[in-house]
A and B are shown apart, each in its own frame.
Chain A
Amino acid sequence: MDSLLDQSSLFLQQLVNGITLGGVYALIAVGYTMVYGVIQLINFAHGEIYMLGAFLAYTMVTLLGLPFFAAFILTILICACFGVILDVIAYRPLRNAPRLAALITAIGMSIFLQNLALMIWGSQIKSYPREILPKIFYQTAWSLGEATLSWLQVFILVVTVVSMAILHLIIHRTRIGTAMRAVSLDKTTSALMGIKVNRVISFTFAIGSAMGGMAGILVGLYYNAIFPTMGYIAGIKAFAAAVLGGIGSVPGAMLGGGVLGIAEVIGAGYLSSEYRDGISYAVMIAVILFKPSGLIGRQIGEKA
């Protein structure tokens, strides 16, 4: 490595890559944490929505010949609908059932969707054909020493930051956002205020799934690999990010995603790339052992 890059350039390069990856983890983690916030369910099928996002956009640009940005927007909308459908058919009937029942259903939906994707798209790894993507993606936007930032990374970062900002505005400045926070604190009292609790929960799934699907496309672009089980590992890592930040906390998911992405890339760079996935698990286990409420989560045991 030293012959290719000097030490500081290497570090800078790892940092840039880590932030890019972290942003994507944060996008996925937000979906976990928001759903957990409103119904205390770890939606294990969330990683599959992310995978479907990557495949849907792939099909739209290859089979249907849609321009990339049109496919991008359309996929996000379809993923939002998927999220709502998932909630309505799989989780809503179990709203008053023990939490374990919903959790098992979530795992079931995850397996079902993975295999559905396997049937539709096959097990071959797909990639977005370069010639139909905007050419600028692969050009260097910025370089310092030997560290470079491609326009694709810029695109990923901008999309991540903008969607996080929009999410923040929705949660804190709109009526539905206030209702989401109310429902996450107390469903019965929310109903007494006239809030349609089920509709708010579905809306939460829609937002989370839209961001998850978006992350799927971004990762598909970044790693150039789309396959039916891609949601599994990404899902677990995003879940680790959500736990790290404090499950149920949206700023926590953002922070957790960023920290995990950087830790993973730098760890892989300086230790060994084989430790890549292990780092996420180690982080998750450490958080559960030493600070179960996460970096900025609510205190465990507090009556919400």
Chain B
Amino acid sequence: MLRLERVHSHYRKIEALKGVSLSVREQSISCLIGANGAGKSTLLMTISGVQPVSAGRILFRNELINRLPPEDIVKRGVVQVPEGRRIFSHLTVKENLLLGAYLRNNRNEVAACMKNAFNLFPILRERQAQAGGTLSGGEQQMLAIARALMGAPSLLLLDEPSLGLAPLVSAHIMRIIQQIRDEGVTILLVEQNAQAALELGDYGYVIETGRVVLEDRAAALLKNEKVKEAYLG
């Protein structure tokens, strides 16, 4: 569904991605694990068209998307939940959700989509008139995911959804991610919590200093000695 071929990306002169190749199969959960600064977030930002690709290709459903502006990528159904949730703090929960549906014109569909989001995260229905910034960390993460779902994604890019959350909340978010996949949305999950990610995922990539150094089925990576040593502790 999504394929990256030797993707390079730079921040001025610093090369953050040094030829990353990976592919994400339809209806799967693919995980990207690695340390801080390995290039995981950069990778998602290049897929979303926010960070420019300096060499290589990104294909979505066999179409080249690495020269498209972010809005065209969202329009094709590739939507990101950014690291740190990045809720519009002064806007209400409802406004945040509506921004997720910014490119959709059919009001009935958007309303139905919001109803689904509220069913998935009932707390958001209660809080819909509240400013996004007043929500707790877990609630903000739910809002960030719900906001992305408002864009009717076929591929959801999740960047560190469990970051800074209590273990119980984080486990709840992981279950929700599985539920979203079961409803037919393909998922590319970036996580520092490698254990949780690999338990959830189907396939995994290990990324170090801008390169994919290892890839395998998630279950196999969980047993891999090197992965155990470096990421599972």
Q: Which residues of A contact B (CB under 8 A)?
A: 175, 178-179, 181-182, 185-186, 188-196, 304
Contacts and interface: CB of A to CB of B under 8 A. Distances in A.
Interface string B36-60: 0000000000001110000000000
Interface string B64-99: 000001110011000110100010111100010011
A191 B75 CA distance: 12
A193 B74 contact: yes
B201 interface: no
A66 to B, nearest CB: 38
Most chain-B Cβ atoms within 10 A of its Cβ — which of A185, A192, A193? A192
Contacts of A196: 69, 71
A185 B75 contact: no
A195 B49 CA distance: 13
Nearest to B45: A188
A194 B50 contact: no
Contact of A194 (B74, B82, B89, B90): B74
Could you say which interface size class chain B belongs to? 20 to 34
B151 interface: yes
A178 B94 CA distance: 11
Contact of A179 (B70, B86, B102, B151): B102
Given A178-B91, A178-B95, A186-B88, A192 B102 contact: no
13 contacts: A178-B98, A190-B99, A191-B71, A192-B50, A192-B74, A192-B82, A193-B74, A193-B100, A194-B103, A195-B71, A195-B99, A196-B69, A196-B71
B80 A192 contact: yes
Contacts of A185: 88-91
Contacts of A188: 50, 82, 86
A191 B70 contact: yes
A194 B98 contact: no
Nearest to B103: A194
Interface of B: 48-50, 69-71, 74-75, 79-80, 82, 86, 88-91, 95, 98-100, 102-103, 147, 151
Contacts of B99: 178-179, 182, 190, 193, 195
A186 B80 CA distance: 15
A203 to B, nearest CB: 14
A189 B88 contact: yes
Contacts of B147: 193
Given A181-B88, A191-B49, 15 more contacts: A178-B98, A178-B99, A179-B99, A182-B88, A182-B91, A186-B86, A188-B50, A189-B88, A193-B100, A193-B151, A194-B74, A194-B102, A195-B99, A304-B89, A304-B90
Nearest to A172: B95
A193 B86 CA distance: 11
A65 to B, nearest CB: 44
A185 to B, nearest CB: 5
Cβ-closest 6 pairs across A and B? A194-B74, A194-B103, A191-B70, A189-B86, A194-B71, A193-B99
A195 B80 contact: no
Contacts of B88: 181-182, 185-186, 189
Contacts of A175: 98, 102
A296 to B, nearest CB: 13
A196 B69 CA distance: 9
A181 B91 contact: yes
Nearest to A175: B102
